[in-house]
Structure 1
Amino acid sequence: MKLHASHLYMIMSFIQSFANSTMFTTYAIFYIATLGLNPLELLIVGMVLELTVLIFEGITGVVADTYSRRLSVIAGMFVLGSGFVLQGFIPSLDGLIPLVTVFVWVLISQFVCGIGYTLISGADTAWIVDEVGASQMGNLFLKAKRYSLMGTLAGIALSVALSTLGTHLPYMIGGFLYLVLGVFLLVFMQEQRFVRPERVEGTTHWHEMKSTWLHGAKVIRRQPVLLMILLVTLFSGAASEGYDRLREAHLILEVGIPDSNLSLAMWFGLIAAVSTFLSIFVVRLTERRLDMNNERVVLNGMFVLTGLRIAAILAFAFSPSFTWALVSLLLIGMLGTLIEPLYDTWLNLNIEGKVRATILSMMGQTDALGQTAGGPFVGWVGSRYSIRASLIVAAVLFMPILLVFGRALRKR
């Protein structure tokens, strides 16, 4: 059986989101309540993941552009699945090896996951853009986002159900789903339009990869818009790491969950479900109304959405009540859902095909650099003052992005 590339990309988006939602809807309960990690340790966990991405992202992107995007994606699914399964086993690993604590096991699993992320990052997008063509990618990214949200919705229910049986089970099942996806892609994923660079006789594999990386760097250097995208990615990474790692902790420790018959897992599942329903609605509306092939329209959308996102994060940080925090949280989720496909479209509209995976990986490195540099600082603010203060810092780190979007719009 042969699947069209766009159909396979939808399936891949659905299963990845299904697995991620299964793991991450209730991950805060696993990390905070079961493993006992504090705010600073939560940020260190994120820093190790992003540092791994920072180190390996450029290498894996070059490999994808030099040899095969398909093989890079498939290998990433297997490595990532193994890292998540390892996290699911952490409670039973404690004390297995002397001096290796629960926190160390978490860091090891994050290192494995980081390598898996780098193998997939850039390679999956470069593969699908080559297979379907640049003219189709904007609408395809929006459609894929809708499918991924459906996967998220399915994963929420599974995550809550598994978490009530054992807080480690979502990671085990999510990792298993990634391994199954790897097998599926091994059988059905085709790579028909990727043209491997001609190898000069007598050159080594290392020289080939070096040439690909240098060409990608030259492309970025001579295109001001790509330098702008680098700045957006850097500040976005620094800001998002603090918010992503501490939002649940802010709800639990500072705002407070209302007393009810619902468990923490059920509360987070309910919040995630409502957020996903709203996101599906706004993505569908955007598909119908927004011209994704018009770069100025895409830029205008990102400028407005980023401004609203900053305001929503500040509202969440200053929440006087659970209802206020909940509304802010839902708004942030919807805005982030819309920004992602717009950003991917803007980026791919400005990249040439033969170094697409390399440049996308460089963007991934920049994001990792922002998260690695910004995450610990935001975590330190949370430990020194309050999680509320960390969220305010995260909102401030988003603000330079508005200046970059404004400059890009003037240039257009």
Structure 2
Amino acid sequence: MTSKDNASRIYTLMKWMTSLANATMFTTYAVYQVIAMGLNPLQLLLVGMVLEVTVLVFEGITGVIADTYSRRLSVIVGMFVLGSGFVLEGSAMWLGSEVSLLSAFMWLLLSQVIFGLGATFVSGAETAWSVDEVGEEHAGTIFMRAGRIGLSATLLGIALSVGLSALEPNLPYVIGGFIYLLLGVILLVYMKETKFTKPQPSAGASNWHRLTSTWLSGAKVIRSQPVLLMIVIVTLFSGAASEGYDRLWQAHLITDIGFPNSLALSAAVWFGTIALLSTLLSLGVMAFAEKRLNMGNEQVVLRGMFVLTLARIGAIVSIALAPNFVWALVSVLFFEAVRTLSGPIYDTWLNLNIESRSRATVLSMMSQSDALGQTAGGPLVGWVGKRFSLRTSLVAAAVLLVPILAVYGRTLRNRRERDS
């Protein structure tokens, strides 16, 4: 087996197992946080803010470590830290009732710090490792295929989430955390790093000097390429919008719209059903896009991102203004299919514009931009929800995506002028 084939399989396995863990945890997260723990919209966004502030602080540091020492090591450490954070998050309800030192909400916030730290080790390093190992010309195809295969794990995770939530609302987080820990063990044994070249330090250079030199190199790359500056802006506003939507849409269904009375199903079953339907729809969309989209053509990628962003805005507004459950359900399914397709297309656009030697650092800086957007935008959207209504806060989240359309439009014009 060639190193490219091995890397492709390991990357796909990572996507499969993380998709399984994430679906297990996040399908019924509202049952745990909104119903069991009783968090209000502002508290929900504060949980997200703590997570994103942690990412904002550590993302650049861990990205530089990946580019300076080892991307493989960074990913493996990240998996173990993430697993520990998720297990603690699931245990917050137990700890809050057993240990008087900290309330359940404070344990939940502490878990977000660990979660965020682990995410920074994986972010950037995972993609940088895979692109180097398989080659830039194959990366887009592999991203799309791994995304599609990951959706099959999502189906299993949905069933696990609903079943575990019926036993205890916090169990999905505990089990999801253990899946991350298991993945860390698997990667420790089977993940190889054959294409990464560790930068040669200058004579007498300290470790700190090596780290700062790598960070400055990544910052220079972003400053020197207008398209990367454009991507920073896209990531900033996208992060601000996604934090508001992700934290509040399930609460919106629970408190504003409600579930049909004709079917005596629990909230966990309803969210599991919605996740199942959105995953099946996304599978079909991804399979279609994998065959039809030329992921090596940047013009195609940019046009796709413009259309998909416009669709995301429309879907969020539709969810916010939905007069009934069926309307909201269709809007949520449409949004999730669009977002699933947007992920690998965005990753492809980003990696087409980054040099290998600073890839993990630049990707981490992009994640910092996302974290900054979520940190700034999340509490604002949460305050709107607490001050006015959840519907208004979701509309505010959609408005935060509008500037991205201008960025894509300008980038497309620049590309056409350059190619003409």
TM range (shorter): over 0.9
1:261 is displaced (CA, Å) by 2.1
Question: 1:43 deviation in Å?
Answer: 0.1
Q: Return the alpha-carbon distance in structure 2 between the equivalents of residues 343 and 323 of structure 1.
A: 30
Residues 96 and 105, structure 2, Cα contact 8 Å, conserved in 1 = no
Q: Where does residue 179 of structure 1 map in the other structure?
A: 181
CA distance in 2, matches of 1:140, 1:95: 45
Post-superposition CA distance 1:159-211 (Å, at most 9, x none) = 10111111111011000000000000000000000000001121110100000
2:318 matched to 1:315?
yes
CA distance in 2, matches of 1:379, 1:91: 23
User: Secondary structure at the residue paired with 2:400?
Assistant: helix
Report what 1:9 is aligned to: 11
Task: Tell me which amino acid in the other structure corresponds to 1:51.
Answer: V
- CA distance in 2 between counterparts of 1:69 and 1:254 reads 45
Structure 1 residue 88: Cα displacement = 1.6
| Aligned residue in 2 for 1:402 | 405
- Residue in 1 aligned with 2:117? 115
Q: Counterpart of 2:58?
A: 56
In structure 2, how many angstroms separate the alpha carbons of the residues matched to 1:96 and 1:49?
Answer: 24
1:237 maps to which of 239, 245, 265? 239
Matches of 1:90 and 1:345, distance apart in 2: 37
Residue 400 of structure 1: how far off its partner (Å): 0.3
Matched, 1:377 2:371: no
Distance 1:15 1:245 in 2: 23
- Give, in whole Å, the separation in 2 of the partners of 1:23 and 1:97: 24
Cα distance in 2 between the residues matched to 1:246 and 1:82? 25
User: Residue 202 of structure 1: which of 195, 201, 204 is its match?
Assistant: 204
> 2: distance between equivalents of 1:98 and 1:244?
31
Distance in 2 (alpha carbons) for counterparts of 1:339 and 1:76: 24
Shift of 1:99: 4.4
What is the deviation of 1:96?
4.2
TM-aligned CA deviation for residue 89 of structure 1: 1.3
SS at the partner of 1:4? helix
SS of 1:193 mapped into structure 2? coil
User: Matches of 1:27 and 1:333 in 2, distance apart?
Assistant: 16
In 2, Cα distance between equivalents of 1:237 and 1:24: 18
Q: Return the alpha-carbon distance in structure 2 between the equivalents of residues 195 and 88 of structure 1.
A: 39
Q: How far apart, CA to CA, are the structure 2 residues paired with 1:239 and 1:58? A: 22
> Which among 270, 274, 280 is matched to residue 271 of structure 1?
274
Structure 1 length normalisation: TM-score? 0.99
- Specify the code of the residue in structure 1 equivalent to 2:365: M
Deviations 1:123-157 (A, max 9, x none): 00000000000000111110011011111111000
Q: Distance in 1 between matches of 2:242 and 2:106?
A: 24
Taking the TM superposition and a 5 Å limit, the aligned residue runs for 1:217-228 are 217-228=219-230
**SS of structure 2 residue aligned to 1:89:** helix
> Aligned-pair distance for 1:258?
1.1
Question: Residue 390 of structure 2 corresponds to which residue in structure 1?
Answer: 387
Verify: 1:35 aligned to 2:37, yes or no: yes
**Cα distance between partner residues in 1 of 2:323 and 2:35:** 24
Unaligned 5+ runs, structure 1: none
In structure 2, which of residues 294, 297, 300 is the aligned counterpart of residue 297 of structure 1? 300
3-state DSSP class of the match of 2:192? coil
Residue type at the aligned position of 1:366: S
Q: Which residue of 1 aligns with 2:367?
A: 364
Task: Measure, in 2, the Cα distance between the counterparts of 1:344 and 1:385.
Answer: 36
1:339 equivalent in alignment to 2:342: yes
Q: Residues 237 and 401 of structure 2 are in contact (CA less than 8 Å); yes or no, is this contact kept in structure 1?
A: yes
Greater shift, 80-89 or 355-364, is seen at: 80-89
Residue aligning to 2:89:
87
Instruction: Figure out how many residues of one structure are paired with residues of the other and give that number.
Output: 412
TM-aligned CA deviation for residue 30 of structure 1: 0.3
List per-residue Cα deviations over 1:304-354 (Å, max 9, x = no partner).
111111011111110001000000000000000011111000000000000
Overall identity of the aligned pairs, in %: 61
Q: Encode CA deviations 1:338-381: one digit per residue, 9 max, x unaligned.
A: 11111000000000000000000000000000000000000000
Letter in 2 for 1:250: H
Which residue does the alignment assign to 2:67?
65
Structure 2 gap segments, 5+ residues each:
416-420
Counterpart for residue 153 of structure 1? 155
Contact 2:92 2:105 in 1 (8 A): no
For residue 254 of structure 2, what is the aligned residue in structure 1?
A: 252
Counterpart in the other structure of 1:349: 352
Give SS of 1:167's match: coil
Q: Once the 2 structures are TM-superposed, how far is the Cα of residue 98 of structure 1 from its aligned partner?
A: 3.6
CA shift digits 1:32-85 (9 cap, x unpaired): 111111110000000000000000000000000000000000000000000011
d(CA) in 2 for partners of 1:168 and 1:383?
A: 25
Q: Does the aligned pair in 1 maintain the 2:59–2:121 contact within 8 Å?
A: yes
Across the aligned residues of Structure 1 and Structure 2, the Cα RMSD in angstroms comes to 1.0
Q: Distance in 1 between matches of 2:173 and 2:219?
A: 37
CA offsets 1:237-295 (integer angstroms, 9 cap, x no match) = 00110000000000000011112221111100000000000000000000000000000
Q: Is 1:329 aligned to 2:332, yes or no?
A: yes
Aligned residue among 25, 32, 42 for 1:23? 25
